[in-house]
Amino acid sequence: MKETEKLLKKKKKTNYTSSTDKAEIANSSNAADIIDMSNGEHTDTPTLYRLIYLGIIVILPGVGPGMSFGFPAVALPQMSYLTIDEVSWFASLSAITMPIGCLLSGPIIDKYGRKSALMIANVPSICGWLLMATNSKLIDLYISRLLLGLAVGLSTTPAAVYSAECITIHNPTLRGSLSTWSTIALTSGVLLSYLAGGFFWYTTVAYIGAMVSLVSLILVAIIIPESPTWLHGQGRVAEAEEAERILKITQPVLKQTIIKQSKEEIKPNITWNDILYTLSEMQKPEAYRPLFIMISFLFFQQFAGLYVVITYMVTILESTGAYFIHPGTGAIINGVIILGAAVSVSFILPRLGVRRLSLISCSGVALSMLTVAVYMSLRPVYGPETYYLSIIPFLAIMSSVLMSGLGFIPIPYSMLGEVFPTDVKGMASGIAGSLSSTFCFIAIKSYPYLFEMLGPGVFYIYSFLAFSCCLFVMKYLPETTGMTLSQIGDSFGIDGYTPYTLIE
């Protein structure tokens, strides 16, 4: 151990590690746990690839449920027998059970662990897709959508929490990138729905969704370990150390604190005292301030029409007069853009930060929605001569999808795993996520009626709310990029807090 410490000191002085030093460190009894704390990176150079590999496995449970967002866009044109009321229910029902899934995810994460929560999320997804594929009765379709919504709610938060605790704990910059990968999973599901719907009947698309979730369940079960942070909290020190060895992470200060707490008090079950304690912790500034910010951010996200466009993509392309391209082809193109934007944000976010990227995204969505609204308002004046101009609403919708994917959609969810203290993370993130799902249900359910009553007016509303979000971001949203979890939490507890507190 002394030899290892000497080698690490030598590395700090020279800012590099020779091949001989690496070999000696590798032979050390503690080699699996050695991390250069000066820059937050493991001395094992393949670590970055390992982190990315683990990150992909962690987000897989979101792909199957994510297909449910794009599914109505391809299934509803094949369900022409449905009334407008039945269409609105079919499209929005999944959002009803999303809050339930989010609320359940908190206790599941805290009691059964992060890995178990990721595995559990696949179960309702498999059941929901199989029910959709094998039944044509309206009530069965509704139940299927409810199960898929439950799966979405269960899958979102565990991935963000696991990523923050296990995969990027020593690298705040990389944490900002990988924490957005939950959105990449959901958008991958959207694209998969659009693609499959362009070639197959909706029942085949449902079978594909079930298969994706089954594969995800198997991979999570056999590849990733449980969170060492959670295992230490349960007093399962040996398992925690084994998980740390597999993940090749260590954080001595955090570990010692958790071990000390776990020895003092280990509770196998959640009691009313635990709930009351968590509620009391929620009254502290470092808990309720980020909760208010995240709920507000998610409110603007949902009512700016982002998921409305994804859910009704084909219908919206038709109703806005985007005749320049076939609606099905347009949906696939936008699906590619959604996924491309979600992947790009992983590289852009560390450079721009959450505040700047959110401002760019909100502004882009606002201008895009405004363009659609203005075009639809002027279209009756020009009549059928607007055929070649119909590329304008398509480009505007494409722009809204791109700009929302670059920040408005992924950033709020990625921040859920960062801004809350450990003691309230499960409950606070569950509350924020459940309210987001409630907002999503209202937005999706109301769109057919609002469009029937207001026409282009509904897009004016979406544009106004996106502009309002820009003002909210400037005044309240904190900058978390490049900050450690403890720095973020401490900053919310400062008297006279402003988002600029977090900017160096």
Which of 150, 146, 155, 147 has the alpha carbon at shortest distance from 117? Answer: 155
In this prediction, residue 427 carries a pLDDT of: 75
Q: What is the pLDDT of residue 502?
A: 40
Q: Which of 69-78, 311-320, 412-421, 465-474 has the highest mean pLDDT?
A: 465-474
366 confidence band (pLDDT: 50, 70, 90): very high
* pLDDT of res. 43: 42
Instruction: Indicate the angle between helix axes 84-112 and 63-75, nearest 10 degrees.
Output: 180
3-class state of residue 257 by DSSP? helix
pLDDT at 279: 66
Better-predicted residue by pLDDT, 406 or 479: 406
Report residue 262's pLDDT band, with 50, 70 and 90 as the boundaries: very low
Beta-carbon count within 10 A of 278 CB: 19
Q: Are 41 and 164 in contact (CB under 8 A)?
A: no
- What's the mean pLDDT in 289-295? 85
If pLDDT is split at 50, 70 and 90, which confidence band does 115 have? confident
Which has the closest alpha carbon to 365: 471, 460, 473, 466?
466
Share of the chain above pLDDT 70, in %: 72
Q: What is the pLDDT of residue 34?
A: 32
Indicate the CATH number for domain 47-224+271-502. 1.20.1250.20
Spatial separation of the C-alpha atoms in residues 91 and 248, rounded to whole Å: 43
Query: Which range has the worst mean pLDDT, 334-348, 406-420, 465-479?
Result: 406-420
Question: Chain-wide mean pLDDT for the chain?
Answer: 75
Provide CATH 1.20.1250.20 ranges for the chain: 47-224+271-502
Q: Given pLDDT bands bounded at 50, 70 and 90, which one contains residue 324?
A: confident
pLDDT tens for each residue of 437-495 = 788 889 999 998 999 899 889 999 999 999 999 998 888 877 777 666 666 666 565 54
Better-scored residue on pLDDT, 48 or 253: 48
Q: What is the pLDDT of residue 340?
A: 86
Work out the pLDDT band at 164, boundaries 50, 70, 90: confident
What pLDDT is recorded for position 497?
Answer: 47
The mean pLDDT of 35-51, rounded to a whole number, is 47
The pLDDT of residue 385? 55
Read off the pLDDT of residues 170-217 as tens digits, 9 standing for 90 and up: 665 565 556 566 777 888 898 899 888 888 888 899 999 999 999 999
Under the banding of pLDDT at 50, 70 and 90, the label for residue 33 is very low
Per-residue pLDDT, 362: 92
Question: Nearest Cα to 113, choosing from 172, 165, 153, 168?
Answer: 165
The DSSP code sequence of 215-230 is HHHHHHHHHPPPPHHH
Mean pLDDT over 261-281 rounds to: 55
- Is residue 496 scored above 80 in pLDDT? no
Q: At what angle do helices 202-223 and 47-59 cross, to 10 degrees?
A: 130
What pLDDT shows up at residue 314?
A: 83
Quick one: pLDDT at residue 294?
A: 86
Distance CA 163, CA 157 (A): 10
